[in-house]
Chains A and B, each alone.
Chain A
């Protein structure tokens, strides 16, 4: 299984399409998020407006009926008070109230126990609509089995001393036939002219029609209305098993629910409002309002799924379209970008083929004029250039190899011109001489030479101006001249004078050579030397003092070079070198320096010439620290031992 990140990183088309889709997703989320939030607010507001309108209408209709009951009762209230001397007339009044007010189910005018002495303990005139027979029945309803003065409707008015609506209750039937009809009573205390309580006038209405009325009003398909009494008991609810059996708080007895409890309390306290909560198992919006002064409350329960049904459907469809669109976009973009970048892919393959050495790989020339087309064209041009270059390179390499081969030969020839066999004079124990020449390139411009003739040791060390082949050729001439002239047993300054004469002649290139020419009388240990613009050698641990410095050889004519003589050099070491020693540079272009030469030369009494030269070469190598040699390096060390 490929790492997904690696999978994406491996393909530009995948990466680009993913970036595009990610950006598109961010834009979609932001735009749709805003749209949905605002739409939801609008839908919610619309639901509130609709539900509130329905609720207001319902409350208006219910209040209208309740007001009629109150007015009807209040209108008749004065009659019994005025006719207390004829208690039987009260039956006429209750009957009349029912006759005049078809909304009423029943009406009773009930008095305190033993109020009318002649009527006994109970006196409650009660008239009611007998719906089965279609007549109004009037009766005296108090007796030992039905002591009305303990009934709530009676006692509420008595104890509270103001008119009050009872809680809705199931109609009482002395025959214990349960009609399940829910009624409520408006009860008002009756008082004598002195303001003393006498009894209660109570009017009953059936609340059955309320259920029918409110259930027909539905702002949403699954919304429903409920009505609760002050006790929270349902007296209107689509589930008839809950009527008078359950309250709005019943579910909280076993499963505490602060939201439902708060809703119940708000409705009990006669508040108007809206709450969002889980009501009877469904996330719902509950809009509630009190019913007049009854203490009852009506509410419309609108399931959230109803209010936001259309919104949710739209939301789901849009989200599905966006998700599918983004997936399609990812795929299509991937394909398009892949197709657009296909030439790059081909180019990459061709480049790899070319890189592997097949420079003649055919490159398909794209006719596109965009960047990829240009790249393709450039790559094709580059390939042609590369082929040409490789061709030239091959020729150059061959040429270079030939030159290198020739240079090697030249180097061998040059090295063959200087003595390289050590010890140089195996049969002479008094001469300790060692020399070394290391050209910076294949061939160099340094030289050294020595030979013994007639108990005289002639030697020289030189450094031709410039480097490479011209310098090496000038060195070859100089070498030959030295040997040829020195063999004539001349003094070093004479040798220099003569060599200069030869070298300046036809020297159009104005090349020259610095040179130290010496001659030692081996028998006496006398050193004669002529320094022609060369570095001062180290003698006996110090730089040799040069009294007369001559010009380098080959620059211009000079009648007589000057020389010096040291009377006895025996057992003292003489080191002659070219500037490849003291001017040897490291990577930082720092030179080895003259002081370092003196330091190296110190404490070399016990070393022979070869060891001294190797010591100097090691020091140079150490100083360079891997840097390329910047000049030819030539060293010659000698000492004349006293035997």
Chain B
């Protein structure tokens, strides 16, 4: 090959290399929150709408899950690059040999509560029928039921409180930022007795965080870092501009035909932001806590939800 030929080959290689690089830069970053559109994911909507992702050079698309394509499934099938997951869900996935990386931890407190239909302490209702989400999110509650020998009969429900309301079940799991307010909105009366907050009874295990498959992370560290930073910026903006943040949330709510209203979303955002503040430091830390990971892993393993321990190191970025 003469020099001209070499130059030609090099030029072709360079053009090809640049085009691949350019392709990588413009690669769509699909993010999937683990539930339908509401203020639980306000920070990501804000980051998208306020252009924080774009400023970070990311082309982010927010794709909500459907019945057939849950957030976990989308992550497993590499249809989404990042998704929010509860810590316990993430532990389950890692335990099933799909290594994940937590690139941003938003929740610092557990939001799960048990609500009893009558004015009766949920801890005193052994064998009661208790509703849980069909989609999951109930690991901590199930562990607690075993540990406290409550032997709840778990009844899976889809997305609303009708079973609870009509008396088909004695109690239900609820998120303090979502179903709790839904029940209030249904005229349900909360008393001192009928609510059990896991966070107040030694089960304060972090929930929502943003996760990636580790293999994807290894090749897209910069994108992961940028996405985490922009998302964090989105949450911080939402905390300082709650009214505007709710407006943005409502835009997504309407686009996704979610049956809710502004008042509920406002209360949800307030509670979600409260849960992001660490009880010890009283700050919005955005970090996974090793002690909570260890406790969650231990609890789930004891209850045979995990085959082996999943460590903090397995979840965090390097």
Contact = CB atoms under 8 A, between A and B. Distances in A.
A245 interface: yes
A369 interface: no
B134 interface: yes
A170 B158 CA distance: 14
Given A156-B168, A178-B257, A248-B187, A166 B134 contact: no
Contact of A180 (B67, B186, B257, B261): B257
Interface stretch (B137-145, B159-167, B275-283): B159-167
B68 interface: yes
B185 interface: yes
B66 interface: yes
Interface string A130-167: 00000000000000111100111001100110001011
Contacts of B163: 152, 155-156, 159
Given A178-B257, A231-B165, A246-B261, A150 B187 contact: no
B185 A254 contact: no
A159 B155 contact: yes
Contacts of A295: 166
Interface stretch (A261-269, A428-436, A485-493, A553-561): A261-269
B169 A231 contact: no
Interface residues of B, number: 31
A250 B261 contact: yes
A92 B28 CA distance: 49
A264 B184 CA distance: 12
Contacts of B134: 147, 150
Contact of A249 (B68, B161, B187): B187
Interface string A258-301: 00010011001000000000000000000000000001000000
B55 interface: no
A249 B166 contact: no
Interface residues of A, number: 40
Contact of A247 (B66, B155, B169, B185): B185
A409 B214 CA distance: 152
Contacts of A250: 185, 261, 263-264
A199 B68 CA distance: 24
Contact of B165 (A167, A248, A251): A167
A253 B67 CA distance: 30
A253 B260 contact: no
A232 interface: yes
Given A180-B257, A245-B260, A160 B158 contact: no
B316 interface: no
Contacts of B162: 152, 156, 166-167, 231
B158 A159 contact: no
Contacts of A251: 263
Contacts of B267: 253-254
A421 interface: no
A244 interface: yes
B284 interface: no
B232 interface: no
A230 interface: yes
A81 B134 CA distance: 29
A39 B187 CA distance: 37
A112 to B, nearest CB: 14
Contacts of B266: 254
A249 B186 contact: yes
B153 to A, nearest CB: 10
A251 B261 CA distance: 11
A1 interface: no
B184 A249 contact: yes
User: What does DSSP make chain B's interface, helix, strand, loop or mixed?
Assistant: loop
A361 B54 CA distance: 108
A427 to B, nearest CB: 133
A583 to B, nearest CB: 107
A149 to B, nearest CB: 9
A247 B259 CA distance: 11
Interface string B255-276: 0010111011011000000000
A151 B158 contact: yes
B312 interface: no
Contacts of B50: none
A178 B66 CA distance: 13
A231 B167 CA distance: 12
A253 B168 contact: no
Contacts of B29: none
A26 interface: no
Interface in B20-43: none
B99 to A, nearest CB: 26
B129 interface: yes
B157 interface: yes
Given A155-B168, A164-B166, A253 B185 contact: yes
B173 to A, nearest CB: 14
Contacts of B158: 150-152
B181 interface: yes
Contacts of A144: 68
Nearest to A244: B259
B156 interface: yes
A245 B259 contact: yes
Contact of A268 (B129, B168, B187): B187
A82 B130 CA distance: 34
Q: Which of A146, A245, A268 has the most CB of B within 10 A?
A: A245
Given A146-B67, A231-B162, A152 B263 contact: no
A566 interface: no
A253 B184 contact: yes
A242 to B, nearest CB: 8
Interface string B178-197: 00010011110000000000
Q: Which of B66, B185, B263, B264 has the most CB of A within 10 A?
A: B185
B67 A145 contact: yes
Interface in B295-313: none
Contacts of A246: 185, 261, 263
A176 interface: yes
Contacts of A151: 158
Given A150-B156, A152-B160, A155-B155, A245 B261 contact: yes
B186 A231 contact: yes
B161 A231 contact: yes
Given A146-B67, A159-B129, A246-B261, A230 B184 contact: no
Nearest to A265: B187
B67 to A, nearest CB: 5
A253 B129 contact: no
Contacts of A146: 67
Q: Which of B165, B186, B261 has the most CB of A within 10 A?
A: B186
Contacts of A176: 66
A227 B54 CA distance: 46
Interface string A163-198: 010110110001010101000000000000000000
A632 to B, nearest CB: 113
A270 to B, nearest CB: 13
Contacts of A244: 259
B187 A232 contact: yes
Contacts of A261: 187
A155 B168 CA distance: 8
Nearest to B131: A155
Contact of A156 (B66, B166, B259): B166
11 contacts: A147-B134, A150-B158, A152-B157, A170-B259, A174-B67, A245-B259, A245-B260, A246-B263, A247-B186, A250-B263, A253-B184
Interface of B: 66-68, 129, 134, 155-158, 160-163, 165-169, 181, 184-187, 257, 259-261, 263-264, 266-267
Interface of A: 144-147, 150-152, 155-156, 159-160, 164, 166-167, 169-170, 174, 176, 178, 180, 230-233, 242, 244-251, 253-254, 261, 264-265, 268, 295
Given A155-B157, A245-B260, 8 more contacts: A144-B68, A150-B158, A152-B158, A156-B168, A166-B162, A232-B187, A246-B261, A265-B187
In the A-B complex, list the 9 residue pairs whose CB atoms are closest, starting with the nearest: A159-B168, A178-B257, A145-B68, A231-B186, A152-B162, A244-B259, A150-B134, A249-B187, A245-B261
